[in-house]
Amino acid sequence: MPNMILLPRAAEELKIPFVASGGMADARSLVAALAMGAAGMTMGTRFIATKEAPVHDNVKKKAIVAASELDTRLGTCVRFGTLNRVLKNAGVERLLDIERERGSKLKIEDIHDEVAGGLSQGDDRWATMDAGAWSCGMVVGLIHDIPTVKELIDRIMVGAERIILARLTGFLDAESKVPEGRLKSFASTQSPRWKTMPTYFCTTLEGRLTAEQKRKMAGEITRVHCEVTGAPSFFAQVIFQEVRPGDYFIGGAPLKHDQLFV
């Protein structure tokens, strides 16, 4: 049953937290799983293509990263009551030939060599990756690199925040015209880091800056803010305040110079 159906159904039935599994690879998977009621996700295939995974480099580079979502198949070991999804390779073809040939007489010993696994990481037989059948999800089509586990998890967490804050609240803004105040208070419930929106006030004399200069300054302030804090640009605001000559006092004396305060 696809997760699009399974997860909302699980949310309807279960009174305990549950996690989504199968087809999960990145921030989009996590946000989708959360939206459908899961409390988190697990990943199988995605972790094979990480630096720490104890499998041969050929498996990571030439099989997982190179494969598309169309390179797996179901159907091995059905006679033994399991339905496996595996990466298509010569080992799988041999296995299916044996299964077809032996039919109802199939014994586990007949296919042991193709399914036993257990090849050590340095085994030469990984050179072609056709040594046997091994589990691999369709999610392989979403795997394009080999990060460390830390890089992968950090990327997923930052990406998920970005999707929630920048993309999803953007829909609220555009579609339902939620007043900014309500939008801000909505965002503040999502993460303590955004309890207050970082705000930069730029004070100048009236007419001192052109619209283009203000746009460039706001862009630079936002860029530096994001670089330093790691926050999405959506959550930094820059507000220009203009004062008329004679309206600005420092130390009780009117400001004489043409200064800009941020």
Ligand X SMILES: Cc1cc2nc3c(=O)[nH]c(=O)nc-3n(C[C@H](O)[C@H](O)[C@H](O)COP(=O)(O)O)c2cc1C
The residue (of 23 and 132) whose beta carbon lies closer to ligand X is 23
The residue (of 64 and 165) whose beta carbon lies closer to ligand X is 64
Q: How many chain residues are in contact with ligand X, going by CB under 6 A? A: 14
- Beta-strand relationship, 72-76 and 84-87: antiparallel
| Six token digits for residue 252 | 């009780």
Closest CA to 91 of 126, 137, 46, 138: 126
Please state the closest distance from residue 167 (CB atom) to ligand X, in A: 23
The residue (of 121 and 185) whose beta carbon lies closer to ligand X is 121
Please state the closest distance from residue 75 (CB atom) to ligand X, in A: 15
Q: How far apart are CA 213 and CA 145, in angstroms?
A: 40
Closest CA to 184 of 163, 202, 199: 199
**Cα pseudo-dihedral 116, 118, 122, 123, rounded to 10:** -30
> What is the number of the residue whose Cβ is closest to ligand X?
44
Please state the closest distance from residue 240 (CB atom) to ligand X, in A: 49
Out of 133, 139, 143, 217, the only residue in the binding site for ligand X (CB under 6 A) is 139
| Six token digits for residue 24 | 């999960």
Please state the closest distance from residue 139 (CB atom) to ligand X, in A: 4
Please state the closest distance from residue 140 (CB atom) to ligand X, in A: 8
Closest CA to 186 of 159, 217, 165: 165
The residue (of 134 and 235) whose beta carbon lies closer to ligand X is 134
Q: List binders of ligand X among 29-48 (CB under 6 A).
A: 43-46, 48
The residue (of 22 and 132) whose beta carbon lies closer to ligand X is 22
Q: How far apart are CA 234 and CA 19, in angstroms?
A: 29
The residue (of 24 and 92) whose beta carbon lies closer to ligand X is 24
Out of 23, 165, 187, 194, the only residue in the binding site for ligand X (CB under 6 A) is 23
Q: List binders of ligand X among 44-83 (CB under 6 A).
A: 44-46, 48
Give the residue carrying structure tokens 């950090």: 154
Q: How far apart are CA 233 and CA 167, in angstroms?
A: 12
Please state the closest distance from residue 151 (CB atom) to ligand X, in A: 18
- Residue 24 touching ligand X (CB under 6 A): yes
E-only strand ranges, the chain: 19-20, 40-41, 72-76, 84-87, 199-205, 237-243, 249-250, 253-254
Please state the closest distance from residue 180 (CB atom) to ligand X, in A: 39
* Residues sharing a CB contact under 8 Å with residue 29, sequence separation 6 or more, in sequence order: 20, 23, 41, 43
Stretch of 71-79, 129-137, 146-154, 212-220 contacting ligand X, by CB under 6 A: 129-137
> What residues make contact with ligand X under the rule CB under 6 A?
21-24, 43-46, 48, 134-137, 139
